[in-house]
Structures are given as C-alpha cells and as structure tokens.
Amino acid sequence: MKETGISWTHHTFNPWMGCQKVSQGCKHCYAEKMVTGRMGKPLWGPNSRRQVTSEATWKNVEKWQRDAAKRGVVERVFCASLADFFEDHPDVVDARLKAWELFRRCPNLHFQLLTKRPQNIRRFLPRDWGLGWANIWLGTSVESVEVAHRADILRQISATVKFISYEPALGPLHTLDLKGIDWVIFGGESGPGYRAADPQWARDMRDRCARERVTFFHKQSSAFRPGQGETLDGVLHHDFPAPRFVQLGIPKPALAKAGGGAGTVDGDGAAAADAETVGAGAVDGDGVAPPTDPSRSHAAA
C-alpha cells in the first residue's frame, strides 16, 4: 500500500533526522526546510546533533512488513528522506546498527538506501553483507558531473540493485559511466527558486539508459510544485529494475553467486573489513532466486 508522495517508493522510513550539506544538490534541501523550519528542530550542520525517531516510527516498518507478507507482495521503503543513512555522525551509530537488524527482519520490504556519501558505505555495511542482502538497494545521488565520482564508488560495491538519483538535475550527465548501474531516476528540482533542468538532459539519459539496458524512471521535470511534469515527451517512465537476487521468507545475508541469474553480480563481494558489527549470521552463498520484483509496475528496460 503506497503511503508516500515519492513516486518511486511505497513508504519512507527515517531512523533519525538531521544532516549536513555536502554539494550543490543540497542547496535547496527540502528535508532541512522541513526539519529545521516546519518542525523547528536544529538538526542540520556539522556541529548539530541528530535525533533518532520515535519507537512508533520504527514499529511502522514492522507493520508494513506484516501487511506485505500477508498480501504476498514486496514493497519498497525509501530510507531515509530526512537524513543520509551513511552519514558519519556519532549520534547515529547505534540507530544504524538497529536499522540493519530491522531490515534483516523484513524480507518483504526492499529498502532503498540513497546517499550522497558513498565513500562511507563500505564502513557502515553489516559484516555479513557478502554480495549484498536481497532486500537492500544501494543508491547515490549524482546531480551533476562534478559529483560523478560517486557512481564510481558505488560501482565497486556489490548489491542486488545499484541506482543513481539524478535529482535535482543540475546539468547534463553525458560522461556518467552507467556500467554496473541498474536504475537511474531523473528528477528536476522543485519548489520556490528551483534551478531549471533542460528537458534534453532527461531525454539524453532516457536514450542512454535504453541503449545500455539500464532501467529509467522519470520522476518529474523541474517545476514549482513537486510532481509536476511527470511525463517525458508525453510518456510516463515509471519503470523499476529487477533485483539481481530476491528471496522471500527469512532474508539471508547474501543470496547470489557471481554470474548467476539474469543480472550478474559485478561487485567484488568483499564484506567491509572495518564494518560496524551487526549480527553474526553466516553468509549463505548458494541459490539465486528469480531476479524479479513482484512489486514492479513494468518490465525492466
């Protein structure tokens, strides 16, 4: 059941709130406006604290899991919309470990972890990450060529789905290497003072994705109101990637063999040596579940 206005996910879960701006894409951060403005919480910047969310917020996730399991579906959860899951901040260390344990208990939920700090991903993965957990998608934001190196870092990490959020699109990304990337979400900036995106940037990315067999999702063109301009040249591109490996039931930490399934695992599969410790489940390297996502709305490109 969809519970968020973000078109590429079903739910949003914030284990904590607060962040710090790191690049031009953060300039008009809606999360900062919401948390520091509307909610009146001083949780932004390097010297501010971060606030772990309430028990009720965390319990919602377990409820989504129960509901999805009862209906026999998989739903997507964007984590986090009011923070960066891979921010290196002392206030979030315990919450991040707790979140991994929660993710482990929710096989019917695919958690979409989007970060502007991919350089921290390896350090904060669970020890038994292996080739990746079946229900964790890893993504990074690339708003312009200046931060295209984020995709290079993501490419080196194994995951069932790797995605790029090209939002807010601030320039063309002709030189972005899409190798090893499964999914690109295009979004123009929205809100007061939005920086207009050239529709040609979206067309170019759409066409490159088609050529390179990367799934393309057009969220919106730049506009005053979020969600305006959902179509591109009159066509709705709301496509989702087929995860490299999917397993329903109790999620095992790693489920794919390199080269298995329709989507090959191209990462090195090495667990982070200096990862925060979470659980101690053994890596189960056998068996490749069908690379399909029961929740996707269209076939992958």
Which residues of the chain form contacts with ligand SF4 (CB under 6 A)?
A: 19, 21-22, 26, 29, 31-32, 84, 116
Burial category of 271 from C-beta neighbours within 10 Å (exposed 0-12, middle 13-18, buried 19 and up):
middle
What is the CB neighbour count within 10 angstroms for residue 262? 11
Query: From the CB of 217, what's the least distance to ligand SF4, in Å?
Result: 18
Task: List Cβ neighbours of 189 (8 Å cut-off, separation of 6 or more).
Answer: 28, 167, 168, 169, 170, 195, 196, 197, 222
State how far the Cα of 226 lies from the Cα of 159, in Å rounded to an integer.
Answer: 30
Q: Based on CB atoms, which residue is closest to ligand SF4, 7 or 120?
A: 120
Cβ 32 to ligand SF4, closest distance in Å? 6
Q: 78 or 245: whose CB is closer to ligand SF4?
A: 78
Is the Cβ of residue 22 or residue 283 nearer to ligand SF4 in the bound state?
Answer: 22
Q: How far is the CB of 266 from ligand SF4 (least distance, A)?
A: 26
Least distance between ligand SF4 and beta carbon 7 (Å): 18
| Strand bridging mode 11-12 / 16-17 | unpaired
Cβ nearer to ligand SF4, comparing 21 with 238 = 21
Residue 33 CB-density burial (10 A; 0-12 exposed, 13-18 middle, 19+ buried) = middle
- Pick the closer one to ligand SF4 by CB: 68 or 114: 114
For residue 235, the minimal CB distance to ligand SF4 (Å) is 28
